[in-house]
């Protein structure tokens, strides 16, 4: 693939996670025989146009500039909040914008014939899925996340590193699962649940609530 054939990609979010995604894109390109992605810069509503983001590029604008972009552009959303990810996607209405799946080269799928994947997902190093696993749209699997058999993941979820999801688990939308958490088999998680770092979820949580500990219990502020 000549450089002229590479796909333009930008990152929405110019903070630390944005820089991580820039590294991730480089890692994907290096693993390919012919690099696929040409990073053109960042979009961020909180930084001035032209702001240099490490050695990766500059800020091209915010949501208004992205919605007025006049050529095909792939965009990776580098935002760690599930609700903000949803709001941002809902506010991008430019027909030229595409949300690709960015998948680490070592992502392991035990049974590809029963695996389903939507769009706009970020699946980083060390992740794996067993058989009959479905992943929806705009999720982040932020490294070393493992799914057992017959699991379903909805949309706009953020799973931090080193999470273990047992078989038969269903996770809805806009959930934030903390670093090193464990979800035992057959648990059903609805929407807008936060599971604290290192927690072990043994029972069905209530929507919109935060759970922490081992076993994970409702956290009241």
Per-residue model confidence as pLDDT tens digits over 38-71: 999 999 999 999 999 999 999 999 999 999 999 9
Query: What mean pLDDT, rounded, does the chain reach?
Result: 96
Per-residue pLDDT reduced to its tens digit, 168-200: 999 999 999 999 999 999 999 999 999 999 999
**Would the pTM of this model clear 0.85, i.e. be above it?**
yes
> What does DSSP say about strands 152-153 and 170-171: parallel, antiparallel, or unpaired?
parallel
Domains identified in the chain and CATH numbers:
3-100 (3.40.50.20), 103-210 (2.160.10.10)
Q: Can you tell me whether residue 117 is helix, strand or coil?
A: strand
CA of residue 188 relative to chain centroid, distance = 20
Pick the closest to residue 19 from 67, 53, 59 (CA basis). 53
Question: 3-class SS at 8?
Answer: strand
């Amino acid at each position: 693939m000549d450089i002229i054939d590479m796909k333009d990609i930008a990152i929405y979010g110019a903070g630390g996670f944005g820089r991580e995604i820039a590294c991730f894109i480089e890692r994907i390109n290096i693993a390919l025989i012919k690099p696929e992605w040409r990073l053109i810069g960042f979009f961020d509503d909180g930084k001035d146009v032209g702001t240099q983001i490490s050695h990766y590029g500059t800020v091209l604008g915010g949501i208004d500039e992205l919605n007025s972009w006049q050529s095909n552009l792939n965009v990776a959303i580098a935002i760690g909040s599930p609700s903000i990810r949803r709001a941002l996607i809902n506010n991008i209405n430019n027909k030229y914008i595409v949300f690709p799946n960015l998948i680490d080269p070592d992502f392991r799928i035990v049974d590809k014939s029963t695996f389903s994947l939507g769009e706009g997902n970020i699946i980083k190093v060390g992740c794996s899925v067993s058989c009959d696993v479905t992943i929806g749209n705009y999720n982040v699997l932020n490294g070393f996340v493992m799914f057992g058999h017959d699991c379903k993941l909805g949309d706009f979820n953020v799973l931090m590193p080193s999470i273990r999801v047992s078989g038969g688990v269903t996770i809805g939308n806009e959930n934030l699962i903390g670093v090193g958490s464990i979800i035992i088999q057959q648990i059903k998680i609805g929407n807008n649940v936060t599971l604290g770092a290192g927690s072990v979820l043994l029972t069905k949580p209530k929507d919109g609530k935060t759970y922490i500990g081992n076993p994970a219990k409702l956290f009241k502020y």
